[in-house]
Chains A and B, each alone.
Chain A
Amino acid sequence: DVKVTQSSRYLVKRTGEKVFLECVQDMDHENMFWYRQDPGLGLRLIYFSYDVKMKEKGDIPEGYSVSREKKERFSLILESASTNQTSMYLCASSPLLLAGDSFYEQYFGPGTRLTVT
């Protein structure tokens, strides 16, 4: 079974703090993703990565950065946390598309509920 783990289920931080959210997958997947989920807005893509040290902006990258130093680990960084970043953060991974196949299926971690006060 694919397993995606996130470092914390619940996190409370103060405004202005630097926050690290860690995500690890154990299936040797090339692609990794960070989403946030907010009531009424649904799930939105923040950043994604298709290889080590590679990163691409998603739909809402402002206020966030990411790091992928190892294939299995993808970190989301809030350089200076603000109250509008209070949200549920979900990490996902998926394998690389293989020729003739379409195995894009994404697998999600349990989520981190971040509160910024």
Chain B
Amino acid sequence: KNEVEQSPQNLTAQEGEFITINCSYSVGISALHWLQQHPGGGIVSLFMLSSGKKKHGRLIATINIQEKHSSLHITASHPRDSAVYICAVRSYSNYQLIWGAGTKLIIKP
């Protein structure tokens, strides 16, 4: 079993829909990251969380440390949100990231 599991693997939705991507992990962490990989390949860091909730524009990330679970939400989704969203966690002991496999999101106009 992978230490970081994302669901769903693929998600197709219509423009305007509320999107939720989930990330569950099985190790003790010091932080959880959400990243976005554009179709061209570039990776952008969206959020770093160690507790609670963060919001940036239409993106909201939450984490429940006790349940070892995080969600990334996109409100009023737009075709430009189409990308792969990756969850990664950092263990207590070092800077190393454990990566999820990513969720490929397609938003249709």
* Mutual binders A and B: no
